[in-house]
A and B are shown apart, each in its own frame.
Chain A
Amino acid sequence: MGLESKLGDSFITTTIDKVVNWGRKNSLWPMPFGTACCAIEMMATLATKFDLSRFGAEAIRFSPRQSDLMIVSGRISIKMMPVLRKIYDQMPEPKWVISMGACASCGGVFDTYTLVQGVDQFIPVDIYVPGCPPRPEDLIDAVMQIQKLIGDETVSVARMTKREEISQGTLG
């Protein structure tokens, strides 16, 4: 996607934006990183009653290399954190992260010596879903919000640069 950055904001890039974003948001393949009780609700969301594949999440691969949305559902202990980071690093760009449930977002009820108080200390999170566990409808809402986020993206600014600028506070 190098030519578009030279064109800047023109009707070509906006049309390309729309097409690319439409493709990406309607085929989000999740990488379910389920460790605890939220994983059960995630399984319920992926099953028939609250079918998440209606939203394009057809292929639930436990392979990070073939996915673009990581759903961190459950408690993450300090022993598990390097594993989570490794899996996150193995996902190819573009990637998004949903932090599902109270424990992944902020440690939940477990303010203890073993648990990471929020995975956003180690990986960038796009959407936080509150709940213990959140209902399947909440998770579907989170996926829809990710789709909205994707719809607002533009290909003329590289995603890695944008993330770095956000994390350093220099995004214009």
Chain B
Amino acid sequence: MSEQQTAAEVAEPQEPIVIQQLKEKFTDHILTFIDQRSELSVIVSKDASFEILEFLKAGSNPSYDFLVDVTAIDYSQMEDVLVEYDYARFMVIYHLNSFMTNERLRVKVPVNEKELTIKSTVALWKSADWLEREVYDMFGINFDGHPNLRRILMPDDFEGFPLRKDYPLRGRGEREKFNFGRENV
């Protein structure tokens, strides 16, 4: 590596290879990518989220074969983010890791409240089963194609989605009115 080459590389930071590959393959669906404090995130649109994750699992360089976490976030109180992503209230977040190169990637998918459903990734990673059940339980986001979508942390007859921003900390009276599920006891 000659000195001029390294100087050129330093002067113009290049996009990571995986982002270039994604942009080649799915041009319309990659909304933005953020490389902030050495954490790489890419925000993709919902229609192609399953295909993009499938590509990231096996086809990209490096291939992110480990699903670390599925979670979601409610942006209803952050105006600037809402405006940027077409007033999509929720974002479903997939954290991926690559075993070969130990690199991480975050994939964020905006989900609109009017169409609160996203394609499930259980077909790609079996661990997404319980992770997506937790997102359903806490936010109410439905996962299309999930084999067993029901509550996992809260009791089965609980009403309400606790981690939404409009859900109060002390609940809406569920703990006072809890009736032990009398039909079972």
Residues of chain A whose beta carbon lies under 8 Å from any beta carbon of chain B: 78-79, 81-82, 85-86, 111-117
Shortest distance from the beta carbon of A40 to any chain B beta carbon, whole Å:
22
- With a cutoff of 8 Å between Cβ atoms, the chain B residues found around residue A116 in the complex are 175
What residues of chain A lie closer than 8 Å to B11, measured between beta carbons? Answer: none
B129-159 to A contact mask, C-beta < 8 Å, 1/0? 0000000000000000000000000110000
In the assembled complex, the Cα of A114 lies from the Cα of B172 at a distance in Å of 11
Nearest residue, chain B, Cβ from A122 = B180
Given contacts A78-B155, A79-B155, contact A112 B170 (CB under 8 A): yes
A residues within 8 A CB of B170? 111-113
Closest to A111 in B: B170
Give 12 pairs: A residue, B residue, CB < 8 Å, sorted on A: A78-B175, A79-B154, A79-B155, A85-B185, A86-B185, A111-B169, A113-B169, A113-B170, A113-B171, A113-B172, A113-B174, A114-B162
With the chains together, A127 CA to B162 CA distance in Å? 33
Do B185 and A114 touch across chains, with their CB atoms under 8 A apart?
A: no
Binary CB contact string for chain B from 110 to 146 against chain A (1 if under 8 A, 0 otherwise): 0000000000000000000000000000000000000
Q: Separation in Å of the B157 CB from the closest CB of chain A?
A: 10
User: Chain B's nearest CB lies how many Å from the CB of A122?
Assistant: 9
Q: Decide if A81 touches B174 in the complex (CB within 8 Å).
A: no
Q: How near does chain A come to B171, taking the closest CB pair, in angstroms?
A: 3
Q: Which of B160, B167, B175, B180 contacts A82 (CB 8 A)?
A: B180
Q: How far is the CB of B152 from chain A (nearest CB, A)?
A: 11
User: Is B174 in contact with A82, judged by CB distance below 8 angstroms?
Assistant: no
Contacts of B160 in A (CB 8 A): 113
Query: Does B181 touch A at the CB level, under 8 Å?
Result: yes
A interface SS class: loop
Known: A78-B174, A81-B178, A114-B171. 14 other contacts (CB 8 A): A82-B180, A85-B180, A85-B185, A86-B185, A112-B170, A113-B167, A113-B170, A113-B171, A113-B174, A113-B175, A114-B162, A115-B175, A116-B175, A117-B175
Question: How far apart are the CA atoms of A116 and B170 in the complex, in Å?
Answer: 11
Interface string of B47-80 (1 = CB under 8 A from A): 0000000000000000000000000000000000
How far does the alpha carbon of A112 sit from the alpha carbon of B168 in the complex, in Å?
A: 9
**Minimum distance in angstroms from A35 CB to a CB of chain B:** 14
**A82/B171 contact (C-beta < 8 A), A113-B162, A114-B154 known:** no
Q: Which 10 A-B pairs have the closest CB atoms?
A: A113-B171, A79-B155, A78-B178, A82-B180, A78-B175, A82-B185, A112-B169, A113-B162, A113-B174, A111-B170
A117 contact set on B, CB distance < 8 A:
175
| A112 contact set on B, CB distance < 8 A | 169-171
Give CA–CA (A116, B167) in the complex, Å.
18
**Shortest CB distance B155–A (Å):** 5
Is B184 an interface position by the 8 A CB rule?
yes
CB neighbours of A111 from chain B (8 A): 169-170
**A-side contacts of B155, CB under 8 Å:** 78-79
- Nearest A-chain residue to B175, judged by Cβ: A78
B175: min CB distance to chain A, Å: 5
